[in-house]
Amino acid sequence: MRVVIAAPAYYPAHKAGGPVPGIMGVVEGLAGHEVHVVTSDRDLGESAPYPAPYRDTVQVGAASVTYLPPPGRGTAGTWWRALRLLHSADVVQFNSLMSKTHTIVPLLFLALTRFRGQVVISPRGELASSALVLGGSRQKRLWLGLLARAGWWRRVGRSSNGGRSANVLWVVSSDHEGDDVRRAFPGAAVAVAPERLRGAGSRARGARPPLAEGLRMVSVGRIAPVKGTVDLVRGLAAVRRPVHLRLLGLVEDADYAAQVEDAIAALPEHVTVELAGALPPDEVEAELGGAHLFALLTRGENFGHALGEALRAGCPVLVTDTTPWTPVGEAGAGVVLTVPDCASVERVAEAVDSFAEMDDRTHALWSERAREYVAGLTQPPSLVELLEQHP
Which strand (E) or helix (H) includes residue 20? helix 19-28
**181, 187 contact by CB (below 8 A):** no
Q: Is the pLDDT of residue 305 over 80?
A: yes
**Distance (Å, rounded) from C-alpha 81 to C-alpha 293?**
47
Q: Is the dihedral of CA 336, 328, 123, 232 positive or negative?
A: positive
Residue 288: CATH number of its domain: 3.40.50.2000
Contacts within 8 Å (CB) and 24+ apart, 81-85: 82/38, 82/106, 83/109, 85/4, 85/36, 85/38
Which domain range does residue 180 map to?
A: 2-192
Residue 163 shares a structural domain with residue 225: no
Residue 27 shares a structural domain with residue 166: yes
Evaluate whether residue 119 is within a structural domain.
Answer: yes
Q: Which of 165, 192, 219 is the last residue of a domain?
A: 192
Residue 216 shares a structural domain with residue 91: no
Evaluate whether residue 202 is within a structural domain.
Answer: no
User: Distance from first CA to last CA of the chain, Å, rounded?
Assistant: 15
Residue 186 shares a structural domain with residue 235: no
Residue 18 shares a structural domain with residue 158: yes
**Distance (Å, rounded) from C-alpha 336 to C-alpha 346?**
15
Contacts within 8 Å (CB) and 24+ apart, 131-140: 131/226, 131/300, 134/224, 134/225, 134/226, 136/98, 140/98
The pLDDT confidence band at residue 238, using thresholds 50, 70 and 90, is very high
Evaluate whether residue 148 is within a structural domain.
Answer: yes
**Distance (Å, rounded) from C-alpha 278 to C-alpha 46?**
12
Average pLDDT, integer, range 352-381 = 94
**Distance (Å, rounded) from C-alpha 390 to C-alpha 324?**
22
Evaluate whether residue 204 is within a structural domain.
Answer: no
Q: Which of 144, 161, 192 is the last residue of a domain?
A: 192
pTM (two decimals): 0.84
**61, 53 contact by CB (below 8 A):** no
Nearest Cα to 371, choosing from 115, 197, 162? Answer: 197
Predicted local confidence at residue 199, as pLDDT: 55
Q: How many domains does one find in the chain?
A: 2
Residue 367 shares a structural domain with residue 223: yes
Evaluate whether residue 198 is within a structural domain.
Answer: no
Average pLDDT, whole number, for the chain?
Answer: 91
Evaluate whether residue 72 is within a structural domain.
Answer: yes
Residue type at position 230 = V
**Distance (Å, rounded) from C-alpha 295 to C-alpha 306?**
10
Radius of gyration of the chain (CA): 22
**Distance (Å, rounded) from C-alpha 288 to C-alpha 309?**
8
Residue 222 shares a structural domain with residue 285: yes
91-124 pLDDT tens trace: 999 999 999 999 999 999 999 998 999 999 999 8
The pLDDT confidence band at residue 159, using thresholds 50, 70 and 90, is low
Residue 128 shares a structural domain with residue 224: no
Residue 327 shares a structural domain with residue 244: yes
Residue 216 shares a structural domain with residue 187: no
Name the phi and psi angles at 209, rounded to 5: -70, 160
Q: What residues contact residue 222 under an 8 Å CB cut-off, 6+ apart?
A: 17, 249, 250, 251, 252
Residue 135 shares a structural domain with residue 226: no
Q: Is the pLDDT of residue 71 over 60?
A: yes
Evaluate whether residue 366 is within a structural domain.
Answer: yes
Predicted local confidence at residue 204, as pLDDT: 47
Residue 248 shares a structural domain with residue 159: no
Q: SS3 for 157?
A: coil
Evaluate whether residue 389 is within a structural domain.
Answer: no
